[in-house]
A and B are shown apart, each in its own frame.
Chain A
């Protein structure tokens, strides 16, 4: 057991799985000698060498395209795309091939690759370095989309993603990379993909969130309890797609109220899907309209206006209280 931040926890997942399985290799820009621009692959090059930790040419589509070939051949490539803002070059390879080869070969082939990429705002970054566009990927049949929210689940989910027989895009909340540490067990630990987690029990309002948004949501939970006597039940999605709604539906049947929080733009975002599931499966239990706290449908602003853009504790508290008003 060691106290690790998310960068170290992700590193541990790859290191241990690479020690165990020769088929696991890492590909990406600056992942080798440099250890990744966020140092997530730090020292893996020293331990495993250039044959298994490959500094590739600067070509995102190329990285994922060759990873598909490797995966089809039986390897377990873990690709790093430096920022999710540069992942659109890989979208074609994921959508047209990674997510379809199982089906197109009618079960003969599988594509067990992982694409790791940092996403999200709140770090005063340059253009294309702050977006949350998980919806693009979550909308792709055959592709799994995972977003951890802390060091311990990041390590466990990444390990599961590497072992998963299907392609997984793994969004890492860069705002949480070094935000806090958690006890992470030395021995291997996995978490099932496709299963949301109850992060806090409550009876009044269900709040669904994931990734970096878990931070303001958990703060809001404390504040709501202390200042308003409101107990929210918090669900951490962990896997965005395929979305398992069992826990969410059961929770809303109990509370009758729901708020969905994500930093991605609102329209057609993951929140819309969660609301749709609740309308389909818990409509008669809803006491008030479901609220969304999200990013806006605009180009992510640079640092000077970033704070006003991002969902925060106050916005979550406000939305929860609104669901209790009517």
Chain B
């Protein structure tokens, strides 16, 4: 009848490979092909520029409310870069760049945030779920997808994203528990960006880390520098391999920062200091990765300049294309699409009524 410490299978590690100045830990440096490194860099830069452009469009009233991603480029891309195309990705709502990497056309974000439901279409060749706005609710779906993969003996894994706030929801704990019990091939990627709107991480949970929530479920958990794309990629690759081998789930906490707004309806000046944001700017994920690539002789200032020009043109084309689509007449009857596989008679009736009423409204305006 002793009183003694119980040994648990996992302890919580922290992983950082590339520091804020771009110095690399040679022993931890992952073996990554040059073209992947460059592809990641271009995607990060494009994500940053696209995000900036979206903010600009929103401020001009050309699109509606959206959640900016600035600062979280590495923690999104490092994670999804470890997936195969056939794997599944289950995002929350701030994974714009992860979705672009997976193949979502950029113009669809503009359409969606301008209020066109068409923008959330998932392309036929992409195995991902659309965004999920209710915080914390989507992780269970990833676990279910992973359970189905295991059931059908498919060599696939599911990866799901969520924020620090989501770890307070009951669904998060249920998802970890199910994943542990059923040893589902799933990777949980927490985007700990330090703020859930106005609530700082320290007030979200009394825990020292979010990664340690894995300990309660006896699944591996790791905290990584989320602004270090090499660390995120290394941890994600390890977790994906573990899941694919049949060794179950992993929780990765990406320690990053929301450098911008919660959404464009938010005013962070109400709750956080400019100094804090400035401190995090020094830890920017893109500049340190650029420094690393330059040291490796994979990138030059001229190449960055060329890349910037390419991205600027690409983003402009996307904006033009989306705005062209928006100019085309919107058929209000489309709102009755995709409610059921087959439209029931009562909805056919309501659709006719709606068209009648909206044409009445138009006439009224014309004569008005």
Interface residues of A (CB under 8 A from B): 29-30, 32-35, 37, 55, 57-62, 85-86, 88-89, 124-129, 266-267, 296-299, 301-306, 308-309, 312, 314-315, 318
Query: In the complex, which of the residues B64, B197, B358, B361 contacts A303, with contact meaning CB atoms closer than 8 Å?
Result: B64
Docked Cα-Cα span, A33 to B267, in Å, equals 12
Q: Indicate if the CB atoms of A318 and B357 lie closer than 8 Å.
A: yes
The distance in angstroms between the C-alpha atoms of A267 and B347, with both chains bound, is 10
CB distance from B27 to the nearest CB of A (A): 38
Q: Is B112 an interface residue (CB 8 A)?
A: yes
Contact A125 B168 (CB under 8 A): no
B115 touches A302 (CB 8 A): yes
A30 touches B335 (CB 8 A): no
Contact yes or no, A57 B204, CB < 8 A: yes
A305 touches B332 (CB 8 A): yes
Give the complex CA separation of A37 and B351 in angstroms: 35
| B205 nearest CB across to chain A (Å) | 7
CB distance from A323 to the nearest CB of B (A): 15
Chain B's nearest CB lies how many Å from the CB of A94?
A: 15
B340 to chain A, nearest CB (A): 10
Residue of B nearest to A309 (CB): B335
A-B contact pairs, 10 of them (CB 8 A): A58-B135, A126-B64, A129-B133, A267-B346, A296-B351, A297-B339, A302-B117, A309-B332, A309-B354, A315-B361
Q: What residue in chain B is nearest A302 (Cβ atoms)?
A: B115
A58 contacts B117, CB within 8 Å?
Answer: no
B118: shortest Cβ distance to chain A, in Å?
Answer: 9
Query: Is B196 an interface position by the 8 A CB rule?
Result: yes
Contact A57 B358 (CB under 8 A): no
**Chain B residues with a Cβ under 8 A of chain A:** 64-65, 112, 114-117, 133-136, 165-166, 168-170, 196-199, 203-205, 263, 265-266, 270-271, 326, 330, 332, 334-336, 339, 346-347, 350-351, 354, 357-358, 360-361, 364
Question: Nearest CB to that of B66 among chain A residues?
Answer: A126
Given contacts A124-B115, A298-B339, A302-B117, contact A57 B197 (CB under 8 A): no
A128–B133 touching, CB < 8 Å = yes
A residues in contact with B205, CB < 8 Å: 57
A298 / chain B contacts, CB cutoff of 8 Å: 335-336, 339, 347, 350
Q: Is the interface of A mostly helix, strand, loop or mixed?
A: loop
Specify which of A34, A124, A128 lies most central, judged by the most chain B CB atoms within 10 Å of its CB.
A34
**CB closest chain-A residue, reference B198:** A34
Question: Which of these, B64, B326, B335, contacts A308 with CB under 8 Å?
Answer: B335
- Asked if B358 and A308 make an inter-chain contact with CB atoms under 8 angstroms apart, the answer reads yes
When A58-B166, A304-B114 are in contact, do A127 and B332 touch as well, CB less than 8 Å? no
Closest to A127 in B: B133
B134 touching A30, Cβ below 8 Å: no
Chain B residues positioned under 8 Å from A296 (CB to CB)? 335-336, 347, 350-351, 354
Which residues of chain B are near A127, meaning CB under 8 Å?
A: 133
C-alpha gap A59/B203 in the complex (Å): 13
Contact yes or no, A305 B196, CB < 8 A: no
Of A30, A60, A126, which contacts B65 at CB under 8 A?
A126
Asked if residues B168 and A59 are in contact (CB atoms below 8 Å), the reply is yes
| A297→B339 CA distance, assembly (Å) | 9
**Which A-chain residue is minimally distant from B131 (CB atoms)?**
A127
Complex: A60 Cα to B330 Cα, angstroms: 36
Across-interface contacts of B165 in A (CB, < 8 A): 57-58
Contact present for B198 and A33 (CB under 8 Å): yes
Closest B residue, CB atoms, query A314: B361
